[in-house]
Chain A
Amino acid sequence: MTIVAKKGTADTRMKMLDSAIKKSLYRQDALIEVLHKAQDLFGYLDTPVLKHVARSLKLPPSQVYGVATFYHLFSLKPQGEHVCVVCMGTACYVKGSDRLLAQAETNAGCKAGQTRRDGKISVLTARCIGACGIAPAVVFDQATAGKQTAEDVAVRLKGWLAHGPN
């Protein structure tokens, strides 16, 4: 049971995943938590990781795959270096989040749900992040920013493209 090594650190991450599985006492109902952990460690869930989880929890791979694809937060594809999540909840929507998304798509050069070919930026949408009081909200690399305008989004994304973290 070996995993294709990724940048030489896969072993350590795999060990961390294994210890999380052990901590969950190999309970099959811990599947969602285990998948969260795996995604935290690897950034996304690829087939070898899913198979490994299935074996460890003694679950059919079909069930693990079914759960991983059912929930929106699990990603089976690698994400970009930077992630821009535009909230499309109702409050953000009535305050023009569709324009923010269009701006993000233009700057990133990829559609919502996709990652730029060079892997620098992923543009995603969220159903509602509960930051409705400061709508429209955008999450840039896990930090929520409120009352955004298209210009704010453009500046941030251009910054990412120009020079790493901003």
Chain B
Amino acid sequence: MDRTELQTIGQREQASRKSCRILCCTGSGCQAAHSLDVKSKLEAAVQKRGLGDRIEVVGVGCLAFCGQGPLVEISPDGAIFERVSPELAETIIGELADEAPASGLGRIDRNHPFYTGQLRIVREFSGRIDPERIEDAIALGAYQALEHAVNEMSPAEVVGEITRSGLRGRGGAGYPTGLKWGTVAKMPSSPKYVVCNGDEGDPGAFMDRSVMEDDPHRVLEGMAIAGYAVGASQGIIYVRAEYPLAVARLRKAIQQATRLGILGAGMFGAQFDFKIEIRIGAGAFVCGEETALIASVEGKRGIPRVRPPYPAESGLWGQPTLINNVETYANVPTILRRGSAWFASIGVERSKGTKVFSLTGKIRNSGLIEVPMGTTLRYIVETMGGGVPDGKVKAVQTGGPSGGCIPADKLDVSVDYDSLVQLGSIMGSGGMIVMDQDTNMVEVARFFMEFCMDESCGKCVPCRAGTVQMHGLLDRLARKQATSLDLDRLVQLCHMTQETSLCGLGQTAPNPVLSTLRYFRHEYEALLQPTSPRLARSLPVVAS
């Protein structure tokens, strides 16, 4: 495979495309709403009318408006139909054949802020290509950045380009990606590994699932570029087992890329080999932590270890390992294609580019959105998301169990790494859950604490025992059996767990409690039992 062959495949694919493409969402969400049946009904209707020469039905990745699925989009620039049932699918073809306008189907306005407010870098091709056909991705430019990198750039230049772009890790912590790549590249020992963290464990987040399902080639290309930059020839994608469709599509993508000679030995005629394999998790939230993930890839229990040494020095099998999140890798091809200056011009100071969020909960328009960093939370929730149906926003939860709840009066915050931290939450991987006035914040805190308690790996005491005790106290609060002393103890335990836990899980487990206490303390206080000082002294030190 060389550049000309890549271009030929792309051109041939472009030429063979029909003038009208019916894009039918086959993402996990729409599949659950029977979109595969819709797709076969559409295909049958096209065939029945003999329109196969100008219309084609393409199964594509997520069309973003997940709450309204199954979605069917007429490309280019036609209508987007929502809630298409297999029974009504045929009427769409009828409309295209100028028989009668499709009736009984809702249409989504393309000029709705939900679409116009988005800037798509990571999701550039999502919903536009068939994720199961590599040619479709190549037609839009997939693997061009990789070819350019291995043939026309030195590894150091690639690292430099990523550094200048200002890209930060999209897994949540926001570590500068270029710096991480540079560290691994400098390590003298080999082999080195490139690992992709697809263990998207935060409840309420599905951006990475969607990237892997909709455009798997982008992830592979980003990893291969990373491999070239740091001097690794083996890549591993760790995907959670809860995402079977993502696993299947990645497998297929790897097979297709290998068959075409893109992945493998001597890529694009350069002296660079790169292979990718998939590892599947088995249900453990802690495996999103990099050292736990490495242990899991090695076939062991996913238990974090002390850092340093960081994986960049000693990771998988004790070798230098680059670990990045799915979305981080997915940004890389576009950065190389359009240049670091372009990427750095998007976003705000210290947070560049875009971020994909899964906007869910009590919100009118739920689905996936990709917005420039620095967009206000209010714009996302109220304008793009359309606000809460029959009610008003009470809080927005970001960052999953490691994050916090941002109250309605702080919605004007700019969504970037640093601003969210100032409010006691974090950007996290991209879950954004809207809560309305009926949501009880103490229950929310208890819900997250229960999650952390179950997911604690048990290695270190502050997290293993601390989460149990904090959960017990929250439970007591929720049952109106707690006193102000219990609340004090809860806060004390929160700080203790934060300061003394080994890994991110324990260190951030108290965040939902602390952030709800910060903004909704009155809800906690309303549940308290009055206590006499004497009784207080006689209470057990830690309640459960």
Contacts and interface: CB of A to CB of B under 8 A. Distances in A.
A joins B in a complex: yes
A126 B285 CA distance: 11
B389 to A, nearest CB: 11
Nearest to A127: B203
B279 A144 contact: no
Contacts of B299: 27-32, 67
A54 interface: no
A72 interface: yes
B169 interface: no
A87 B205 CA distance: 13
A32 B284 contact: no
Interface in A114-162: 126-135, 137, 143-146
B241 A91 contact: no
Contact of A89 (B203, B281, B301): B203
B61 interface: no
A36 B66 contact: no
B447 A133 contact: no
A33 interface: yes
Interface stretch (B26-34, B148-156, B224-232, B328-336): B26-34
B300 interface: yes
Nearest to A57: B299
Interface of A: 27-33, 35-36, 63, 66-67, 70-74, 88-91, 93-95, 126-135, 137, 143-146
A73 B283 contact: yes
B202 interface: yes
Nearest to B450: A88
A90 B362 contact: no
Interface centre among A35, A36, A89, A137 (most CB of B within 10 A): A89
Contacts of B457: 70
A108 to B, nearest CB: 21
Given A90-B203, A94-B435, A130 B28 contact: yes
B296 interface: yes
Given A128-B242, A131-B32, A146-B69, 9 more contacts: A35-B282, A66-B301, A73-B241, A74-B283, A91-B431, A94-B362, A130-B209, A133-B367, A134-B29
A129 B358 CA distance: 13
A71 B284 contact: yes
B433 interface: yes
Contact of A132 (B31, B283, B298, B366): B366
Contacts of A35: 282
18 contacts: A27-B299, A28-B299, A33-B280, A35-B282, A67-B300, A70-B302, A73-B241, A94-B361, A128-B201, A128-B202, A130-B205, A130-B206, A130-B243, A132-B433, A135-B366, A137-B32, A144-B32, A146-B29
Contacts of B434: 94
A63 B455 CA distance: 19
B393 to A, nearest CB: 12
Given A71-B283, A72-B284, A132 B205 contact: yes
A145 B34 CA distance: 9
Nearest to A133: B66
Contacts of B284: 70-72
B516 interface: no
A132 B302 contact: no
